[in-house]
Amino acid sequence: MKKFLILLIMVIFLSGCVEKRIVDEINIAIASGFDPSDGDKKFKTTFLMQDFQEDMSVQNRTITSEGDVRREILIGSNRQSPSPVVVGGMRLTLFEKSIAKKGIKDYIDTYQRDATIGTRIFFATTEGKTEELLKGNYGPQGNGSFISDLIEHNIRQGDVPKTNLASFLQDYYQKGKDVYLPHIKKINDKNVDISGLMLFKGSKALYILPSDKMFYFKLLVDRYSKGEFTVSLEDGSEASVHSIISKHRLKMDKKDPLHLSIEINIKGNIKEYTGNKLNPKIIEAITKNLEEKVEKECIQLVKEFQEKEIDPVGIGAYYKTQIRGFDYEKWKQTYTDLSVDIKSDVEIIETGATY
Amino acid sequence: MVILMSIWDKFKKKNEDWKVLLKQSTDYQSTYYINKKTNNRFGFHFFSTLIDEQIIQESALPPLLNEEFKTLDDIKKIVPIADVQILEDTTKIEEKLLNGYVMITMDSDKKKYAFVAAQKEIVRSLSQPEIEFSVIGPKEAFVESIGQNLNLIRKRLPIKELISQEFTVGELSKTRVAVLHIEGLTNKENVDTVKQRLENIKIDSISDSSYIVELLSDNSNSLFPQLLDTERPDRVAAILAEGKIAIIVDGSPHVLIAPTTLIEFFSAFEDYFLNWIIASFFRLVRVFAVFFSILVTPIYVAALTYHFELVPADLLGTLVTSRRAIPLPPILEALFLELTIELLREAGARLPTKVGQTIGIVGGIVIGTASVEAGLTSNVLLIFVALGALASFTTPVYKMSNTIRVLRFPFLLFAQIWGMLGIVFCFCILTAHLLRLTSLGRPFLAPIYPLRIKDMKDSVIRSPLQNMSRRPSVLRTQNPYRFNSKKAKHNKDIDE
C-alpha cells in the first residue's frame, strides 16, 4: 500500500514534467534553409511548414527570420507563427553556397545536440538563396517532401553518393576524410535539379563537382546498387548499362606505402544498344570501354583532390587503419605525393532477352 | 462478530432438530403403508421435488407392499434398486434426504433407517461449445451436472489411473467439487495443493466454478485469471494427459484447469486440429492481437500528444487533417471512443440475443460515423479503436479477453501523463506483475520466464504432435515423456 501511495504521488507530481506537443497544435518545420543575413545579424533562416489541405495536398508556407544563434531564430519564427514551431519533423536542411563556404560547423552542432531531430535527414547546399528555393511550388506533396525525396531516390538509384546526417557527422569527425553534400539548384518555380556535389575541406565548402563527374565520384566513395551508365563505342553506337552494382576497395602496397591502388568492381546489364547485333565481341568492347573510361576519369578525380588537398574518398581514414602509429599531421604532407592507380573490373552479367 | 457467532450457533441448534425443520417445507412428505403379509407399518419420507416418483411407484413400493419382510435389512433383498443403504447414524439423515434418497422407516425397527436412491436428475442435454467453438473437432460441451461431465471425461480417458476425488464446498450450497488427476503422472504436490486449498475454503455458497477460480488463485487481486476454464471435454482430457489437474464443480458447465500459464490462454483447442503451421500462424496472430489491442490507442495518444517525430512523414498529413476540427485532446478523444466500445460491449452482453444484434449495428454504424461527422473523434482513431476492440476478441478464453480490455486503460492514462515513457513504465509494471504471478505455485509466465526452450514447442507456436514427446517441464510431472519419440518418428511405407 505504501508503495502504491508513493507511485500515486509520483504520478501526480511528475505529470507536468513532460512538455506536451499535440500534433495539430504545433507547427512542424519539414525543412529549413540558412542564408546570409541581409542586415547585421549572423544569418537568416527560412523554415518550411506544411499546411495540410482537406484533399491531402500540402500547401507550402515559409517563415523567415534573422539571428545570431538558432534559439533566437526560433523565437523570431514563433512571432510569425500561429502555433509553436518545432523542428522534430525536419527532413531536410539547405545551406546557401556562401554560408557553406564560411563553414557549417556552427550549424551542424545543433543538429547533433537536438535529440528530436532524426539522423536520417538530408543536408544539401544550394545555388542561390535557400529562401527562394523553399518558396517554389514543386508538387502536391509539398516542397520539403519533394526535395528530400529527390535526394533520397538519387542516392538509392542515381549518382548521388550516400549522405545523411549520420554519415555526414561520421565523416566530418573522422580524421582523414572530407565531407561532401549534394548541390541543388532551382531551375524555375516548378523544378529543382541536383546540379553537382559540393566538396568540403573541413567544414568549409571548396568547390562543386559537376554532375557528369558524379558517376565516377560515387564509384570511388560509395557503392552502387542500381546505377545507370551509357557507353559510346568507336563505331558510333551507344550501349546503356543498367542495374549497375559496384564495389570499391582501397589497397595499400605493403612494400611501398606511398603507393595506393583502388580496385573498382562493376557489374551491370546491357539494356539498350543502338548498334546492330550484340555479340560477345561488342560486349567485350563495351566492357573495355567502360573500364578505360572509369580508370581515366577516376584517376583524374583523385589527382584533382590531391591538388586541392581534400580527401573525400577517405584515403587518410584507410591509411589510419593500415599503419601503426599513424601521424595525421605528417599524413597531410604525404597525401599530395601519394601515387594512386585505379584498376577497374567490369562484368556484363546479362544482355537482355534476344530473339 | 460475537452477535454473528451467536446467531450461527442458534441456527445450528435449530438445524439439529431436523424433523421440525423438514416438516416446514411443503415438499417434504411422509407417507405410511402397511405390508400385506406381515401387517407391519412402514413409512416413506422424502422430498417430492428431489426424487423420481416413478422409481418408488414401480420399483420400491410394490415389493414392499406385497412381499414379506420383517426387518429393514430385508429391504435389500426385495427391492430391485442398486443403491439401498441401511444406516443407524441419525446425522446422515438430512444429507441423504437432501440428496434425493427416500428414507424408509419401520415402526418395529426404529433405530435403523433404510435409504433408497431415487434421485431425479434433470440434466440439460449436451450442446455445442459456445465460447470455445471450433469448426472442426468434437462438438460436445460440458453441462451443469458433475456426473454428466465426469462421464464425458472418463469416456475419453478410460484408464483406472484417472482418479476423481470429491469435496463438498460451501456451508449452505454443499457444492460437489471433483478434483481429477492421473495417478503416477500428475505432480503430487500440485494435487495436494488443490486438495488443501479446497478443504480450506470457507464460504457459504458456490454458484459457479468462477468462485473456485477466485478462491483457489494464488493472487486473487490480479487482473489475470490463474486457472483456465474450459467447456470442452476434449481439452480437459488432453490437459489431464499432459499432467495437469482438472476441477469440476457441480452446477457449472466450465471445468477448471490448473496449473496454467499465460500462453495457454491464447491457444484455442482448435489449434490441435489444424495443420501445425497454420495453427502456429493463428497463434502468432493472436499474440500479436493482444499487444496490438493493448497498445494501439495508448501509442496513438502518446505519439499525438508528445512524440510527433514518431509519426512517419507520409502519415502526418492524414493525422493532422483528421484531427484539425476536433476540439478534444487526443486522450479525451481516445477515452470517448474506448468507453463507447465498452458501452456497446456491455449493452450487447446484457441484452437478449435478438436485441443484442441491433446493438452492433447501432454502435458500429451510427455512433462511429456520427461521431466522426460531428467532429468529436478523428476517423483515424476510430479505425484504431475498432481494430483494437476486434483484436481483443480474438483471445479464445473469455476471461482473458476481458482482462485485455481492461488493461488498456492504465496504459492510456500513463500514455497521457508521460507519453512513450509512461507506456514503457506501465509495461514494466505489467511484466513485473506477470513475473511474480504463479498458478498453484507454478510460474505463470513459463516457458518465457523461466525460459524453457523445450516447452516452447507448444507455446506461441504449435509444433507437430510427433515432436512434442515431452510433457511441459514446468509441471514437473512424474513421467516427463508422453511417448517414445524415437519409435514414433518413422512413418514407413507398407512394403518397407
Dist. CA B376–CA B394, nearest whole Å = 28
Q: What is the reported pLDDT for A354? A: 64
Peptide bond into A210 cis (omega under 30): no
Span B193-202, average pLDDT: 94
Q: What is the reported pLDDT for B19? A: 72
Nearest CA in chain A to B310: A89
B318·A19 Cβ contact <8 A? no
Q: Does B415 touch chain A (CB under 8 A)?
A: no
What are B94-106's pLDDT values in tens digits?
A: 888 888 888 888 8
DSSP secondary structure code for residue B167 in this structure: E
Same domain, A230 and A204: no
C-alpha cell of residue A244: 549497375
Across the interface, which of A19, A22, A58 has its CB nearest the CB of B304? A22
DSSP secondary structure code for residue B487 in this structure: H
Count of domains observed in chain A: 2
Residue B83 has pLDDT above 60, yes or no: yes
A86·B303 Cβ contact <8 A? no
Residue appearing with cell numbers 457459504: B204
Residue A11 placed within a domain = no
Same domain, B52 and B192: no
Domain boundary among the residues B401, B419, B443 is at B443
Percent with pLDDT over 90 in chain A: 44
DSSP secondary structure code for residue A213 in this structure: G
Instruction: Pick from A49, A52, A151 the residue to mutate for testing the B interface (most B CBs within 10 Å).
Output: A52
What are B172-189's pLDDT values in tens digits?
A: 999 999 999 999 999 999
Residue A2 placed within a domain = no
Nearest CA in chain A to B313: A89
B313·A23 Cβ contact <8 A? no
Contacts of A22 in chain B (CB under 8 A): 304-305, 329-330
Same domain, A191 and A231: no
Residue B182 placed within a domain = yes
Which structural domain range is residue B214 located in?
146-260
What are B115-163's pLDDT values in tens digits?
A: 888 888 788 888 999 888 888 989 999 999 999 999 999 999 999 999 9
Across the interface, which of B304, B305, B308 has its CB nearest the CB of A28? B308
How many Cβ contacts (< 8 angstroms) between chains A and B? 65
B317·A20 Cβ contact <8 A? no
**In whole angstroms, what separates CA B338 from the centre of its chain?**
28
Q: Does B327 touch chain A (CB under 8 A)?
A: no
Same domain, B245 and B386: no
Nearest CA in chain A to B311: A89
From B372's Cα to the closest Cα of chain A, the distance in A is 15
Same domain, A150 and A277: no
Span B286-295, average pLDDT: 95
B303·A23 Cβ contact <8 A? yes
Confidence band (pLDDT; 50, 70, 90) for B231? very high
B308·A89 Cβ contact <8 A? yes
Same domain, B166 and B238: yes
Domain boundary among the residues A183, A212, A241 is at A212
Percent with pLDDT over 70 in chain B: 95
Residue B450 placed within a domain = no
B418·A18 Cβ contact <8 A? yes
Contacts of B332 in chain A (CB under 8 A): none
Same domain, B51 and B71: yes
Same domain, B160 and B230: yes
Contacts of A88 in chain B (CB under 8 A): 308-309
Q: What is the reported pLDDT for A149? A: 92
ipTM score of the complex? 0.84
A88·B308 Cβ contact <8 A? yes
Same domain, B207 and B178: yes
Residue B128 placed within a domain = no
Do B451 and B235 form a contact (C-beta atoms < 8 A)?
A: no
B320·A24 Cβ contact <8 A? yes
Nearest CA in chain B to A23: B304
Confidence band (pLDDT; 50, 70, 90) for B93? confident
How many CA atoms lie within 13 Å of B395's alpha carbon, on the beta-carbon side?
Answer: 24
What are B247-271's pLDDT values in tens digits?
A: 999 999 999 998 999 999 999 999 9
Same domain, A47 and A194: yes
What are A126-171's pLDDT values in tens digits?
A: 999 999 999 988 888 889 999 999 999 999 988 899 999 999 999 9
Residue B15 placed within a domain = yes
Span B306-327, average pLDDT: 87
Residue A97 placed within a domain = yes
Count of domains observed in chain B: 3
Q: What is the reported pLDDT for B98? A: 85
CATH number at residue A270: 3.30.300.210
From A113's Cα to the closest Cα of chain B, the distance in A is 16
Same domain, A74 and A196: yes
Same domain, A201 and A333: no
Q: What is the reported pLDDT for B206? A: 92
A23·B323 Cβ contact <8 A? yes
Segments of chain A with pLDDT less than 50 = none
C-alpha closest to that of B300 among B228, B224, B355, B379 = B379
Contacts of B423 in chain A (CB under 8 A): none
Residue B472 placed within a domain = no
Do A241 and A231 form a contact (C-beta atoms < 8 A)?
A: yes
Same domain, A108 and A204: yes
The residues with which A205 forms a beta bridge, in sequence order, are A200
From A125's Cα to the closest Cα of chain B, the distance in A is 22
B-proximal residues of A, 141-170, CB under 8 Å: 145
Q: What is the reported pLDDT for B8? A: 59
Residue A17 placed within a domain = no
What are A37-61's pLDDT values in tens digits?
A: 888 888 899 999 988 888 878 888 8
Residue B323 has pLDDT above 60, yes or no: yes
Q: What is the reported pLDDT for B163? A: 95
Domain boundary among the residues B197, B228, B260 is at B260
Sheet harboring B41-47: ordered strands across? Answer: B28-34, B41-47, B101-106, B109-117, B84-87
Residue A330 placed within a domain = yes
Q: What is the reported pLDDT for A116? A: 85
Same domain, A190 and A85: yes
C-alpha cell of residue B357: 444484434
Same domain, B317 and B370: yes
Domain boundary among the residues A182, A212, A242 is at A212
Contacts of B319 in chain A (CB under 8 A): 23-24
Contacts of A115 in chain B (CB under 8 A): none
Q: Does B425 touch chain A (CB under 8 A)?
A: no
Same domain, B348 and B428: yes
Q: Does B481 touch chain A (CB under 8 A)?
A: no
3-state SS, residue A268: strand
Same domain, B303 and B225: no
pLDDT, chain A, mean: 88
Residue B321 has pLDDT above 90, yes or no: no
Same domain, A287 and A312: yes
Q: What is the reported pLDDT for B367? A: 80
Nearest CA in chain B to A54: B321
Across the interface, which of B309, B318, B417 has its CB nearest the CB of A89? B309
Residue B12 has pLDDT above 80, yes or no: no
Residue B482 placed within a domain = no
Same domain, A227 and A256: yes
Residue B385 has pLDDT above 80, yes or no: yes
From B373's Cα to the closest Cα of chain A, the distance in A is 14
Same domain, B430 and B291: yes
Instruction: Give burial (CB, 10 Å; 0-12/13-18/19+) of B133.
Output: middle
Residue A227 placed within a domain = yes
Same domain, B395 and B361: yes
A50·B317 Cβ contact <8 A? yes
Task: Give the other-Cβ count within 10 Å of A110's Cβ.
Answer: 14
What one-character-per-residue DSSP string does B17-55 give?
-HHHHHHHSTTEEEEEEE-TTT--EEEEEEETTTB-HHH
Domain boundary among the residues B397, B416, B443 is at B443
Span B328-346, average pLDDT: 90
Same domain, A99 and A129: yes
Percent with pLDDT over 90 in chain B: 45
From B489's Cα to the closest Cα of chain A, the distance in A is 46
Same domain, A45 and A168: yes
C-alpha closest to that of A161 among A211, A112, A236 = A211
B-proximal residues of A, 83-142, CB under 8 Å: 86, 88-89, 91, 116, 118
Which structural domain range is residue A290 located in?
223-350
Dist. CA B414–CA B334, nearest whole Å = 13
Q: What is the reported pLDDT for B489? A: 62
Same domain, B248 and B380: no
Domain boundary among the residues A181, A212, A243 is at A212
Q: Does A50 touch chain B (CB under 8 A)?
A: yes
